[in-house]
Amino acid sequence: MTRWVIKCTQCGLERELDVGFDLSSLRYSVYLYCPRCRVNTTHRVLGYHDPYTGQYVQVNQTETSVEGVSEFD
């Protein structure tokens, strides 16, 4: 399991997501429920906690363009 740090693109809420798959394969965007918006929204991946070193790793923000996110609407 990897702890990803994600941010809602609608309200800006940041939170952590524990998943067993690599979000980089989704171009660092994921469509899921936001507890603040109370609807499913696009979330941008800000980074992740490396399961081996425990260090926080920031993802390349150039790969998280809004244009890339729109494909998942």
Q: Which residues bind Zn ion (CB under 5 A)?
A: 8, 10-11, 13, 34, 36-37
Q: Nearer Cβ to Zn ion, position 23 or 43?
A: 43
Q: How far apart are CA 8 and CA 58, in angstroms?
A: 16
Q: How far is the CB of 12 from Zn ion (least distance, A)?
A: 7
- Read off the tokens for 24: 């980089």
Q: How far is the CB of 55 from Zn ion (least distance, A)?
A: 27
Q: Nearer Cβ to Zn ion, position 21 or 31?
A: 31
Q: How far apart are CA 12 and CA 55, in angstroms?
A: 23
- Read off the tokens for 50: 């490396």
Q: How far is the CB of 65 from Zn ion (least distance, A)?
A: 19
